Structure 1
Amino acid sequence: MSRLHVVSGKGGTGKTTVAAALALALAAGGKRTLLVEVEGRQGIAQLFETEALPYEERKIAVAPGGGEVHALAIDAERALLDYLHMFYKLGSAGRALKKLGAIDFATTIAPGLRDVLLTGKACEAVRRKDRAGRFVYDHVVMDAPPTGRVTRFLNVNDEVAGLARIGPIHNQAQAVMRVIKSPETAVHLVTLLEEMPVQETVDGIAELRAAGLPVGSVVVNMVRPEVLDGAAVEDAANGRRAAVAEALAHALARTSSGGRSRADAAGALVTPLLDEAREHTARLALERGSRARIAELGLPTCQLDLLGDGVDLAGLYRMARVLRTREIVTGTSEGAR
């Protein structure tokens, strides 16, 4: 079963929200989950309605069954200072380098090194054990960069190969890749039932597979309800104004004491309602095409409904309840099958 869950998706698909809900779902039943942010946007703090996350692991939520969700906003500069202290024993010297701007310089000119530091911190949390030999966290969930950048971000070994072929940096990169390319990891992609997000998901999965990275599930987020039945969809699609007007007039007449006066008023409502019905029908057709493309990927798929009032803490817990019953929580990654 996967222990590192990497969540990515095109901007605007709600990947941070899905990552937060997944962390809650995985923590259910007394588990401990670490939710990691690597882009410095403090999106996790906003979702859980808490203050900005510092560079330390902090409990931010309790899951059903007594589980705990901890969160960490990874900062590349602080991670590099930790790295220098861990491997080179540069405590105060490392802080002096930061004051001189050397740390910022290093993480800016060497994006591969930056990715090693960010992913390395998450992988360290995956491997970390307590004194009794038990894993400190049952699961680690990473709110990763968008789909277009996630493969390069995770496949840090290729970037670091040009920086160092031997030594601690090389060894650190290799250790990170051993976790990321193992059955312990699953990369989940979040999409909407829209053409561009679905296309980016298809392309992203192809890149992940080509790089040998373990793909998990596809999460279809913000799914809107189908408010028309099959017959109504067919009438709207074919522009059958008379049929719609007759049905509306009949419905109003049955619920009104005014009889024909209310029924006659139905005519004024038919045109705008029919326009909306046609738009709804066109959207359904596009969504069905998107579902078919997602199904062709051959991956487990989870659907999360649109929350009309926006996502608050109650909404996160509702999403987590849905995720708990899906393979994104109970299954394994593609690479482990």
Structure 2
Amino acid sequence: MSRLQVVSGKGGTGKTTVAAALALALATEGKRTLLVEVEGRQGIAQVFETEALPYEERKIAVAPGGGEVYALAIDPELALLDYLQMFYKLGGAGRALKKLGAIDFATTIAPGLRDVLLTGKACEAVRRKDKSGRFLYDYVVMDAPPTGRITRFLNVNDEVAGLAKIGPIHNQAQAVMRVLKSRETAVHLVSLLEEMPVQETADGIADLRSARLPLGRIIVNMVRPAVLDGDDLEFLQAASRPSIARSLSAAGLGGARRGGHAERLVDPLLEQAAEYAERHTLEHEQRAVLRELGLPLHELPLLAEGMDLAGLYELATELRQQGIS
């Protein structure tokens, strides 16, 4: 497994939930993971049902087997202060710059600088070691920007390295890209079995391949359970209305004891079956499109009880059972 796991996906596909479940899955059996948020939405705090995350690494969950999940919401301003202190030893001058608004000014006039700081902070966590020389985190999971922006976000350091030919900025950008374009990194894309998310996933994979960024897996989220199989659908399409009514009556549905007639249930049943058949066909087609993209494909179920902390652990278990950790 790559040590930096980047999770992207179209808005509404549940990429933050998948990133959180992946962090839990990777932390199982005594591992330590860091879950990084870069968009400032506090989505990780919401998923783990905890208070808003500060700009510090904080333990937010314990995985089965004693593993630990830490989380970090990266603040670009504070990341820039870290950067200035690391390379230029500004000390109090850096704090003065913050008070004068110079940092916000810098990230505003150079939008790419924000992405440089965000990716740089995540890669620093990947490389960080403790006093014994071991990596502090076994894995770093990044809840990254959506699919439409992920390639430019991850590739921004390449552009910076090309602009700054020498010096600490060039060296830092090169160091970040050595992580992002190596086997240490894997970019996973979250999708749904719907046309727009699948198309955006295909486009995102093409962009990432063009930029030579390392692809991981496709994770299909919120997959609805199969209610009817092919034989059931064929039966409903071929059966006559009277035969369906007789079957319902034989099952005790719509009989005299209920004060109704089985015939009244036939039309609603056939309408629901037609809707299900249409959705079943669409999902089958979209699954086939995803399989043709040449990446491992995993599916996570739509949780009947909705998403809560227990559901998050359930998804993490599902990922482990599918061999993703």
Q: TM-score, normalised by structure 1?
A: 0.92
Q: Pick closer, same or farther for the CA change 1:108–1:273 going to 2, 3 Å.
A: same
Structure 1 distance, partners of 2:123, 2:161, is 19
Corresponding residue number in structure 1 for 2:72: 72
Percent identity for Structure 1 against Structure 2: 74
1:79-118 residue pairs with structure 2 within 5 A?
79-118=79-118
Aligned-partner SS, 1:318: helix
Encode CA deviations 1:57-114: one digit per residue, 9 max, x unaligned.
Answer: 0000000000000000001110000000111011211111111111001112212211
1:242 aligns with 2:240: yes
How far the C-alpha of 1:159 sits from its partner, in A, is 3.2
Q: Pick closer, same or farther for the CA change 1:259–1:50 going to 2, 3 Å.
A: closer
Amino acid paired to 1:242: S
- Compute the RMSD of aligned alpha carbons: 1.8
How many aligned residue pairs are there?
A: 325
Corresponding residue number in structure 1 for 2:250: 253
Corresponding residue number in structure 1 for 2:22: 22
Corresponding residue number in structure 2 for 1:144: 144
Corresponding residue number in structure 1 for 2:48: 48
Structure 2 distance, partners of 1:248, 1:123, is 64
Conserved 8 A contact 1:13-1:221: yes
1:169-184 residue pairs with structure 2 within 5 A?
169-184=169-184
| Unpaired runs of at least 5, structure 2 | none
Structure 2 distance, partners of 1:231, 1:109, is 61
| Unpaired runs of at least 5, structure 1 | 330-337
Structure 2 distance, partners of 1:248, 1:145, is 52
Q: Pick closer, same or farther for the CA change 1:276–1:102 going to 2, 3 Å.
A: same
Conserved 8 A contact 1:252-1:263: no
Q: Pick closer, same or farther for the CA change 1:303–1:260 going to 2, 3 Å.
A: same
Conserved 8 A contact 1:35-1:71: yes
Amino acid paired to 2:165: R
Moved more, 184-193 or 295-304: 295-304
Conserved 8 A contact 2:158-2:173: no
Conserved 8 A contact 1:249-1:263: no
Amino acid paired to 1:246: S
Structure 2 distance, partners of 1:253, 1:319, is 39
Q: TM-score, normalised by structure 2?
A: 0.95
Aligned-partner SS, 2:273: helix
1:273-312 residue pairs with structure 2 within 5 A?
273-312=269-308
Amino acid paired to 2:250: A
Structure 2 distance, partners of 1:235, 1:253, is 17
How far the C-alpha of 1:228 sits from its partner, in A, is 1.4
Encode CA deviations 1:105-134: one digit per residue, 9 max, x unaligned.
Answer: 111221221111100100001000011010
1:205-284 residue pairs with structure 2 within 5 A?
205-236=205-236, 238=237, 240=238, 242-243=240-241, 246-255=243-252, 265-284=261-280
Corresponding residue number in structure 1 for 2:62: 62
Aligned-partner SS, 1:122: helix
Q: Pick closer, same or farther for the CA change 1:164–1:248 going to 2, 3 Å.
A: farther
Structure 2 distance, partners of 1:71, 1:33, is 8
Q: Pick closer, same or farther for the CA change 1:115–1:260 going to 2, 3 Å.
A: same
How far the C-alpha of 1:266 sits from its partner, in A, is 1.6
